């Protein structure tokens, strides 16, 4: 991503409805898992890594040194590295998380990246993965953050299976606000406008922030009772490395 995107992320990710709400959604699937050691692959500016400390000992890494610097400021152990060459030993972690990473153009081979996540994961360990969903939702923001690909539920499931994982749960997320996102993307295409040369992520008014967070809280409640969402802006998946390799 652009350096400015990391600066904006570091400023807003502890308060912006999207970041806060996505963590609450992820909490639903993480609670109850046997977790001691965690790797946050592509940790960005460290907000998610800090949140994950409640589940176990966390280490993060990111490709961009500026992101690693922000993560260090949160007292999180961090390395500068690529997800295609994770600098840790085989079978080192109970949980690997990677949020909005493998769809970026800096990840030349998404399958190889998932195989690396598999390699460093202990047998029986889990992967919690979030990616951008559906090509028809790719707009200016996707370009701005250097997105190279978006996924369907079937395509992501196939990719994870090729990497060796067993998919346990998969759902679209950011569904309630999908009509607004689709309207924005449609207007961008109809107007043939170019992507902004500055970040489009900002902290909105408290009322708008509350509305967005309420929408994601509703989705978390649906996932908690076992309802998967068929369409949304993102895909969330919980997968496991099988214990019996035979």
3-state secondary structure 42-57: CCCCCHHHHHHCCCCE
| Residue 26 backbone dihedrals phi, psi, to 5 degrees | -65, -35
Question: What's the pLDDT at 246?
Answer: 45
Which domains does the chain possess?
Answer: 3-240 (3.40.50.150)
Which of 128-165 are b and which e, b meaning 16 or more Cβ less than 10 Å from the residue's Cβ? bbbbbbbeebbbbbbebbebebbbebeebbebbeebbb
CA distances from 92 to 12, 73, 182 (A): 31, 24, 40
Strands 234-240 and 93-99: unpaired
| CA pair distance 210, 109, nearest whole angstrom | 37
Mean pLDDT for back-to-back runs of 10 residues, the chain (246 residues): 76 94 97 96 95 97 93 95 96 97 93 98 97 91 83 98 98 96 88 63 91 97 96 97 76
Question: What's the pLDDT at 47?
Answer: 95
| CA pair distance 105, 148, nearest whole angstrom | 5
Question: What's the pLDDT at 191?
Answer: 84
Question: What's the pLDDT at 73?
Answer: 94
Question: What's the pLDDT at 192?
Answer: 72
Token pair listed for 83: 């997800």
pTM: 0.92
**At a CB cut-off of 8 Å and minimum separation 6, what does 206 contact?**
none
Token pair listed for 119: 């390699």
């Amino acid at each position: 991503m652009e350096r400015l995107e990391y600066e904006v992320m570091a400023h807003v990710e502890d308060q912006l409805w999207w970041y806060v709400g996505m963590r609450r959604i992820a909490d639903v699937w993480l609670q109850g898992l046997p977790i001691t050691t965690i790797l946050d692959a592509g940790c960005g500016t460290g907000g998610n890594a800090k949140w994950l400390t409640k589940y176990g000992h966390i280490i993060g890494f990111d490709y961009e040194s500026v992101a690693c610097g922000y993560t260090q400021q949160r007292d999180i152990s961090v390395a500068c590295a690529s997800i295609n060459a994770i600098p840790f030993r085989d079978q080192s972690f109970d949980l690997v998380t990677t949020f909005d990473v493998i769809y970026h153009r800096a990840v030349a081979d998404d399958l190889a990246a998932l195989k690396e996540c598999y390699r460093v994961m202990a047998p029986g360990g889990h992967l919690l993965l979030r990616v951008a969903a559906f090509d028809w939702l790719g707009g200016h923001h996707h370009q701005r953050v250097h997105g190279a690909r978006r996924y369907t539920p079937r395509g992501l499931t196939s990719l994870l299976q090729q990497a060796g994982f067993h998919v346990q749960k998969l759902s679209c997320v950011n569904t309630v606000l999908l009509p607004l996102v689709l309207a924005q993307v449609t207007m961008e295409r109809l107007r043939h406008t170019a992507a902004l040369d500055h970040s489009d992520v900002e902290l909105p008014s408290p009322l708008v922030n509350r509305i967005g967070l309420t929408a994601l809280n509703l989705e978390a409640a649906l996932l908690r009772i076992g309802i998967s969402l068929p369409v949304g802006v993102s895909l969330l998946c919980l997968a496991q490395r099988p214990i019996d390799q035979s």
